[in-house]
Amino acid sequence: MDARVVQLMADMPRVHVFDGPEQESSPNGVWFTHDTCYDLIARHCGAGMRTLETGIGISTALFVMLGTHHTCVPPFQNEIDALARYLDECGIDHDRVRFEQGWSDEVLPRLEPTPLDLVFIDGGYGFPSPTIDWYYAGSRLVPGGVLILDDRNLPAVAGLEAAGMIAQAIHH
């Protein structure tokens, strides 16, 4: 397991804590995927690579630690603020991350369609969100780029593969 992943799993950024009814807080302020997914990101990303994710959390901190030019699309400003505080407290420079706050179906279409080396779809799980994320972000992958889908067990995410939209992908 990559040492940076081990470090993050031991001290996870708690960004999913909400005061109002707009979003359910996660247990301990963290929603996370299996650590092998983070290890996969660490193995495929290096300094200067261009990455994008829908959602925010442990993966965002990892992209920052890896030195990628990262675009993060989270729905809520308080998540961005919480992650920025975490990175500051850890002494991690986060100048290369760009936050585009909003729902991915509104944000992704207006982004400059620059090429991407890795896309991590881990945002909205209801149909058609994963499909929209794949269409706008996944279509920007360079040849040999990596697309990671989180929560493949959910119907709207699994539907991408079932519909033949993804010929080869790494799933977690």
Q: Where are the domains of the chain?
A: 3-171
pLDDT tens string 52-89: 999 999 999 999 999 999 999 999 999 999 999 999 99
pLDDT tens string 87-126: 999 999 999 999 999 999 999 999 999 999 999 988 766 6
Q: 138 vs 68, which has greater pLDDT?
A: 68
pTM: 0.83
Name the amino acid, one letter, at 72.
Answer: C
53 in Cβ contact with 60 (< 8 Å): yes
Across residues 16-43, what is the average pLDDT? Answer: 71
In CATH, the number for domain 3-171 is 3.40.50.150
What would the 3-class secondary structure string for the chain be? CCHHHHHHHHCCCCCCCCCCCCCCCCHHHCCCCCHHHHHHHHHHCCCCCEEEEECCCHHHHHHHHHCCEEEEECCCHHHHHHHHHHHHHCCCCCCCEEECCCCHHHHHHHCCCCCEEEEEECCCCCCCHHHHHHHHCHHHEEEEEEEEECCCCCHHHHHHHHCCCCCCCEEC
Give the CA radius of gyration of the chain: 15
Mean per-residue pLDDT of the chain: 82
Residue 159 pLDDT more than 90? no
Residue position matching structure tokens 């994320």: 133
Residue 170 pLDDT more than 50? no
pLDDT at position 29 is: 55
Strands of the sheet containing 170-171, edge to edge, are 97-99, 69-73, 50-54, 116-121, 141-149, 170-171
